[in-house]
A = this chain, B = another copy of it.
Amino acid sequence: MQEPSAAVIKAWGRLIRAERTVVGRIEAELKGAGFPSLHWYDVLLELKRGPNGRLTPRQIEEAVLFEQYNLSRLLDRMEVEGLVRRIPFPGDKRRQLVEITGAGRALQERMWTVYGAAINRFFGERLGEKEAGQLSALLLKLLQSENT
């Protein structure tokens, strides 16, 4: 086996820990304000950005890196809450379009006031513009698709 170097192991550990820590803090803020989890927010935001506030489940999955079955049930719950609506996909009866509702847009906006502030507090304030840019660049390298 090719042992990872100490520097690599350390960075890997920190990535896990930092993500867990910051996500934990931010989720706690959202919950404290009576809002649902980041997953809900992610879906709402993606939909809002989509054409006419609509995307297929597949597109959402890809955008937010959810499992298919997982998203399917998340959409169930969001639909029950009136945040999204499933409508037929023209020309392909297998697919569907998920459309954000007015209530969904409103929730996304209200959540953002808390979420954005939390990002600042737990993330932005600790980095500064230049460092944020460096971090983005480094993390991007991890996202490159596999090319065995």
A35 within 8 A of B: no
Name the interface residues of A1-49: CB closer than 8 Å to any CB of B. Answer: 1-5, 7-12, 14-25
A82 within 8 A of B: no
A97 within 8 A of B: no
Oligomer copy total? 2
Instruction: From known contacts A138-B127, A139-B14, A142-B122, infer whether A7 and B117 are also in contact, taking CB-CB under 8 Å.
Output: no
Residue among A14, A120, A138 with the highest chain B CB neighbour number at 10 A: A138
Q: Please tell me the number of chain A residues within 8 Å of chain B, measured between CB atoms.
A: 50
A88 within 8 A of B: no
- The answer for the CA separation of A22 and B15 in the assembled complex, in Å, is 10
Indicate which residue in B14, B19, B140 contacts A136 across the interface (CB closer than 8 Å). B14
- The answer for the CA separation of A20 and B65 in the assembled complex, in Å, is 8
Q: Is the CB of A136 within 8 A of B7?
A: yes
Nearest chain B CB to A3 CB, angstrom units: 6
Name the interface residues of A99-148: CB closer than 8 Å to any CB of B. Answer: 112-113, 116-117, 119-120, 122-124, 126-127, 129, 131-136, 138-144, 146
| Interface residues of A, Cβ cutoff 8 Å to B | 1-5, 7-12, 14-25, 65, 112-113, 116-117, 119-120, 122-124, 126-127, 129, 131-136, 138-144, 146
